Amino acid sequence: NSSESHNCAKSILTSDRLQIVVTLSEFFNETWEAANCANCLKNNSEGLSNSTVEFLDLFNKSLTCFEHNLQGQTTYLSPNNYTEVCKNCNETYKMLNDLYNNLQRMNRQGGESGHSAHLCIDVEDAMNITRKLWSRVFNCSVPCSDTVPVIAVSSFILFLPIVFYLSSFLHSKQKKRILILPKRIQSNASLVNIQEKYS
């Protein structure tokens, strides 16, 4: 009976004591939600979104670049010297990082998937792996463009008190203190003598 199909399905799914089918279904649904998997798909979930495909393609290019530049170094350089990787893969890494930042920005506004939350776990894990390799393993650091202005402003602020005290010292008139000695009151003995004269 079609009207009883829902109850029939429910009784079959919950027929065993552990309700293993329901438990597994809930586990996979919770994992799907927690990992934000829908954010990697198109609105109708037909396949990966264009931005996800572009990101994963660039991610694979970055890993290929890392591997390609490591092959020539490991034989004759120390493991801590990865200058070739940093130099040759800088452009690819920068493009991947910029794309990831753009995806984050787009995702906050809804993005291709229509879900506004974190990026899907595949994209976030891929970027975390790349950043860890780039900064910790290869020790490639991108110089900050704000370093010079920050140092200049900090130096100016630290130098301000010196300028203030120096200018106040030079512009203030240095007056010599003239000590005025107070007139002393005559001693009691002289007062007694004066009183004796008049008495």
Question: How much is the pTM?
Answer: 0.60
> Residue 1: how many CA atoms within 13 Å on its side-chain side?
4
Which carries the bigger pLDDT value, residue 103 or residue 80? Answer: 103
Give the CA distances from residue 24 to residues 19, 20, 141, 148, 193, in Å, rounded to whole numbers and listed in that order: 9, 6, 44, 56, 120
Beta carbons of 122 and 40 less than 8 angstroms apart = yes
- How high is the pLDDT of residue 189? 57
Residue type for position 55: F
- Most confident among 36-45, 79-88, 119-128, 163-172 (mean pLDDT): 119-128
Token pair listed for 151: 């140092």
**Separation in Å, CA 55 to CA 22, 59, 101, 115, 116:** 35, 6, 11, 18, 18
Of 54, 139, 142, residue with least CA distance to 90: 142
State the amino acid at position 54 in one-letter form. Answer: E
Query: Residue 169: its pLDDT value, please?
Result: 76
Residue 14: pLDDT over 60? yes
* Residue 13 bridge partners (DSSP): none
Q: What is the mean pLDDT of residues 41-64?
A: 90
The predicted structure's pLDDT at residue 157:
92
Q: Reduce the secondary structure of 145-165 to three states and give it as a string.
A: CCHHHHHHHHHHHHHHHHHHH
CA–CA separation, 75 vs 70, rounded Å? 9
In angstroms, rounded to a whole number, what is the distance separating the alpha carbons of residues 77 and 138? Answer: 13
pLDDT computed for residue 1 by the predictor: 46
Mean pLDDT of 105-120: 69
Range among 35-44, 88-97, 101-110 rated most confident: 88-97
DSSP 34: H
